[in-house]
Amino acid sequence: MRKFVVTITREFGSLGRPIAKRLSELLGVEFYDRDIVEAAARKMNLPVSVISRTEEKKSSFFKMMFPLGTEAIEQQKAVFECQSRIISELAAKESCIIVGRCSDYILADEPDAVHVYIYAPYADRLANCVGILGMEKSEAKHMIDEVDKARIAYHKYFAKFTPSDPNHKHIIINSALMEVEGTAQALAAIVRQIFGEASDKAEKINPE
């Protein structure tokens, strides 16, 4: 296959991250998530999050509500610009899977990119949070609401569109239909169809 990048945005509890990880395994490429933010923080000599110990104690998932932490907005803009450069560099260097961080917006003009949105019905998301993430039901309900709001606000602020906007997506998929393995397998098949066959045709036209 020729070089490609898959960006994944997702609803909280839809298991987007494990799907992305499994997809990377199936395709034999790297996947990047919060480590992009951490890399940007290192480059800027800044903490990844400015969240008090008290807030952290409220929920082990609290930091997920703030992709760039609780820094002042100007600092968040600076981090966003830095991580945008990191995402662009990763996409230029090698095939990869990139989760969140407005990567669909940052790589909107990348011709060999596939932009995916993963969602699931509320009941399935709630079940995933309780059964897989080990959260209490009340906490799960709260986090689904708060994390979704935070991700949508973050995306709209920087990208000017919502994470689920079909005008900016190639694939929108319900992870509850096939769960992690089936969803990853389906996405891998699509990526191979797009980037594998194109490479094969090019080789037949221009054999070396």
Query: 67: pLDDT confidence band, cut at 50, 70 and 90?
Result: low
Residue type, 186: A
Helices (H), 69-168: 73-93, 103-106, 122-131, 137-159
Tell me how far apart the alpha carbons of residues 190 and 186 are, in angstroms, rounded to a whole number.
6
Is 11 in a helix, a strand, or coil? Answer: coil
Q: Which residue has the higher pLDDT, 101 or 173?
A: 173
Q: What is the pTM of this model?
A: 0.83
Tell me how far apart the alpha carbons of residues 34 and 32 are, in angstroms, rounded to a whole number.
7
* pLDDT for the residue numbered 48: 63
Is 133 in a helix, a strand, or coil? Answer: coil
What percent of the chain shows pLDDT beyond 90? 62
The residue among 11, 43, 44, 49 whose CA lies nearest residue 172 is 11
Q: Tens of pLDDT along 4-38? A: 999 999 999 999 999 999 999 999 999 998 888 77
Strand pairing category for 5-10 and 113-119: parallel
Query: 96: pLDDT confidence band, cut at 50, 70 and 90?
Result: very high
Q: What are phi and psi of 99, to 5 degrees?
A: -100, 125
- Find out if CATH 3.40.50.300 is the number for domain 5-195: yes
Token pair of 96 as six digits: 């990869």
